Amino acid sequence: MQKLTGKCLCEAIAYEITGKLGPIVNCHCSMCRRWHGAAFRTRCTVESKNFKWLKGEEHLSKYHSSKNTVKTFCKICGSNLISMYDDRPDYIGLPIGGLEQDPGSRPIAHIFVGSKSPWYEITDNLPQYEELPNDGIESL
């Protein structure tokens, strides 16, 4: 079974993912842009049971960014880590930039391009969605 690992910038926090990753998408929403200080967040959904912290969970800070979403980050170095969902505890959102291996799959779409940064031009041919696809990311 595929095993992936990732860590924060200061390496105090490390995590491991086993099993299949959900679809990888680039999220251009204004919250992801501000959270990452970047043009978009490249993320995928992972089943919670396939994710575990290897070390440093005590260094994790949590921020309730919207009604059902909790964003986590390293309180030492500020690296953005997983999202957790109050209404979907079986899943987490994983930023794949912190992975140490090639996950094998590639981004398949751009989402929330309706709030895309004006200074960033999407130059690939992946499908673009104004917000979320009608049937959700998992349907992609």
If we measure between CA atoms, which residue out of 67, 28, 31, 44 comes closest to residue 138?
44
Residue 7 CB, nearest approach to Zn ion (Å): 8
First to last CA, the chain: 23
Contact positions with Zn ion (CB under 5 A) in 55-94? 74, 76-77
Contact 74, 12 (CB under 8 A): yes
**Of the ranges 11-19, 88-96, 98-106, 126-134, which one interacts with Zn ion (CB under 5 A)?**
11-19
d(CA 21, CA 84): 16
Contact positions with Zn ion (CB under 5 A) in 106-125? none
Residue 18 CB, nearest approach to Zn ion (Å): 22
d(CA 98, CA 79): 9
Residue 34 CB, nearest approach to Zn ion (Å): 10
**Of the ranges 16-24, 27-35, 89-97, 129-137, which one interacts with Zn ion (CB under 5 A)?**
27-35
**Of the ranges 31-39, 47-55, 100-108, 123-131, which one interacts with Zn ion (CB under 5 A)?**
31-39
Judged by CB under 5 A, which of 4, 32, 44, 96 binds Zn ion?
32
- 98, two tokens: 């912190």
Q: Is 29 in the site for Zn ion (CB under 5 A)?
A: yes
Contact 105, 25 (CB under 8 A): no
If we measure between CA atoms, which residue out of 98, 85, 130, 99 comes closest to residue 2?
99
List of residues contacting Zn ion (CB under 5 A): 8, 10, 12, 27, 29, 32, 74, 76-77
